[in-house]
Structure 1
Amino acid sequence: MELYERIEQIIVTLRPAFSRESTFEWFVLLIWGALLATQPPAVTSYLNALGIGAEYYHHALHWFHSSGYEMDRVCRRWGRWLSEQPYGYRLNGKRVYVGDGIKVSKEGRKMPGVKRLHQESETMSKPEWIRGHYFSAIGMLIGVDQALFVSLILLKLHDGLVVSPEATPPTLTEKMAQLCRTVMEPGSYVVLDAYYACAPVLKILRQHSAHLISRARISTVARAEFCLNPSVIKRGRPRQWGAKIKLRDLFKESSGWPKHVCSLYGKSVTIAYECFELYWDSPTQTVLFVLTQQDDGRQMILLSSDVTLSGKLIIETYAKRFKIEVAFRTLVLRLGGFAYRFWLKTLDKLPTWPRSMVLADYDEKVQTQILAKVETFERFVNLNAIALGLLQILALESPDLIWNGFPAWFRTLPNHGYPSERIVRMTLQNQREINLAKSKPTLLLAKLLARKLTTPRPMSKQALVA
């Protein structure tokens, strides 16, 4: 009962994001459905997990198309609640966020935003080209001791739609920077991959007083400080940049760099590194580059817009970026967070390898339907992302309760002693009958389910957006 009550205490804090009581109630039911479902992920599975009959299927489906709330507003409130918790990971007293993109395969021929995508992953199990959706995601790094999670806050479909062929759309890196600006607190840090290490991202983050920690390409060229020689006067615009410095050439002096033991991916690794404060994206603001070399010869260049950080701290912070990959894997494999199946009937079948959809090619009514359907995709994904975050919170707050109620066993368990999201979910599923069927209706979930015992008012299919 304590685990169920704690989840509902958190969910209730999101109530102000909904303008209608019924919309919030279905949000609660669908969150619980995602947590307790044992069947393949779908709206039907969520209702079956709660024991709700087929007569409520269109009511549940309508929630994803409802105009009674904005999912971005729900996610921002979820992010604010996370930032108020004591177990958030901090760097120099500030929150640390992690962002990345994920490509999701989709075979639907009537799904807006589906396009041909190239996968740069070196994993042999992934095809080089897929057709699907591209989501940008940002989450907060939370944890206790060695138990760290990235709790996803907001995911947005950032590729596949173009307003007009003449208009110049923002790049994926600029969209990610704007997403960070929407979610992050001023003065905090965000850890991004090398794809997002560029001047436009740094410019947007600096306007928000936020800092970037990322990996730079090995071919990066920085600039030294420019020193004006008053005896040399030339015509034209005054020079701003100093001499070019190829960072790759600085590795030639790595034999004299100090060596330190850093914790990388749970292992102690000896790394030789050196810090260089140089100009890169702006002639007036410096960037701290950390050149690292391991004993096996592997070289990597990291950068930080906060030049006051130590090199060792930058290395260890960037190493935690892979936690968002773990969050993606858990969201895909355990919760099925990208298993949405929403179609747009009025849309013509897309080609086998479609390009970005141009909204200007459709009339105004269809454009509205396309944008509404894209928001439906995002609602399904973010609903499961919040459910994943609830599992992570329980793992950090109540590990003893979870281990005591865990119904099975695993040969391999986490070394830090805290349960994984899968273990928490199995514990919740095992306690479902005890907390709902045999307990007093003190839970909000039990009260909502009791109301569904009456015959509902039927909702026609025409009430749903096509």
Structure 2
Amino acid sequence: MNGATIGCSIFFRAGSYHPERLRASWHRWVLPHAPLVEVAGRLVVLGDPTHVVKDGGRMPGVVSLRETSETQSKPDYFRGQCWGAVGLLVGSLSACFCLPLSLQLHQGFRHLGEEDTHDPALKLGTRVVQMALSFALGNDRPVWLVLDAFFATASVFRLARSVWSVALQQPLVQVITRAKKNYVAYFPAPPKPPGKRGRQRQYGMKLVLWEAFDHDDFFRDVTLCIYGKEEQVRLMSPILWWKPLGQPLQFVWAVTP
């Protein structure tokens, strides 16, 4: 057992290989062999951070983390590691699963006396987007990046829009996330009347996103395949301005049976 432990320690600390090269080799193998799910010419990538409880005092990346679960029996804080993960959707839209692409520690280097290998300007949310960007750039494949409401921030959209696809004339990574209930958006401002002084207004009428469900006449009926079954869904998908980003975004409201 001691020999195996020493052998593993030498392997993981060896300088004869690099984790980034191993990860790139895994990506190159997955793309031609896995049954990829593509939507509108883009691969579907799922991303999320996860917290893992660890008690080891000498384990790398172990920090104090705040419990985000609503379960009252759990403590407010615990010791553990914060990981960021991205995976590729494979199979088919009716029967699919997530194939892991990359898993990285996102916190816990400074207390070990080591430099953070990530860009210090990147936050916890944008680091997951950076992982998806690295996959898309390294393999020259546009992707949809599906995230939860934690990532509904301007910095996430700004980073995703920083790299464009020349062929598609669109960002290489398109983010799909759930907006928070207290968010508001703005319709485009009407054109300025001729002869009126001042610059053209950018923001028009304000819309509270959650209150849009009260306007049933704005929705249209669409037939979608959900979990292998065709269902009637009411949708509304206008392009509105979002002030934190300062750019237009496409918002989608959906009313399912």
TM-score norm. by structure 1 comes to 0.46
1:183 aligns with 2:140: no
Partner of 2:46: 98
For residues 79-158 of structure 1, the aligned pairs below 5 Å read 79-85=27-33, 87-122=35-70, 127-144=75-92, 146-158=94-106
Q: Return closer, same or farther for 1:106/1:55 CA change in 2, 3 Å cut-off.
A: closer
Q: Name the structure with the higher strand share.
A: 2
Task: Map 1:242-321; keep pairs closer than 5 Å.
Answer: 242-254=204-216, 257-260=219-222, 262=224, 264=226, 271-280=233-242, 282-283=245-246, 285-295=247-257
Are the counterparts in 1 of residues 132 and 173 from structure 2 also a CA contact under 8 Å? no
Report Cα offsets for 1:231-279 as digits up to 9, x if no partner: 3324xx8754334322122111136634456555677765432212112
Q: Which residue of 2 aligns with 1:197?
A: 152
User: Given the superposition, is the C-alpha separation of residues 153 and 116 from structure 1 closer, same or farther in structure 2, using an over 3 Å criterion?
Assistant: same
Alpha-carbon distance in 1 for matches of 2:21, 2:211? 47
* Offset of residue 108 of structure 1: 1.4
Measured on the aligned residues, the alpha-carbon RMSD in Å equals: 3.0
Counterpart AA for 1:114:
V
- Counterpart check, 1:174 vs 2:126: yes
Bigger relative contact order, structure 1 or 2 (CA pairs below 8 A, ≥6 apart): 1
- Indicate conservation of the 8 Å contact 2:42/2:143, yes or no: yes
Deviation at 1:91, TM superposition (A): 0.6
- Give the gaps of 5 or more residues in structure 2: 164-171
Between Structure 1 and Structure 2, whose CA radius of gyration is higher?
1
- Structure 1 pair 267/220, CA: closer, same or farther in 2 (3 Å)? farther
Q: Tell me, in whole angstroms, the C-alpha distance in 2 between the residues paired with 1:106 and 1:122.
A: 20
Amino acid at match of 2:14: S
Q: Which of 98, 104, 108 lines up with 1:160 in the alignment?
A: 108
Q: Which has the higher helix share?
A: 1
* Paired residue secondary structure (2:188): coil
Q: Give the equivalent residue in structure 2 for 1:233.
A: 197
Map of 2:182 onto structure 1: 219
Identity %: 28
Structure 1 unaligned blocks of 5 or more: 1-43, 45-53, 296-466
Question: Cα gap change, 1:186/1:197 in structure 2, threshold over 3 Å: closer, same or farther?
Answer: farther
Aligned partners of 1:99 and 1:146: how far apart in 2?
20
- 3-state DSSP of counterpart to 1:135: strand
- Check 1:203–1:186 CA distance in 2 against 1; reply closer, same or farther (3 A cut): farther
Contact 1:115 1:132 in 2 (8 A): yes
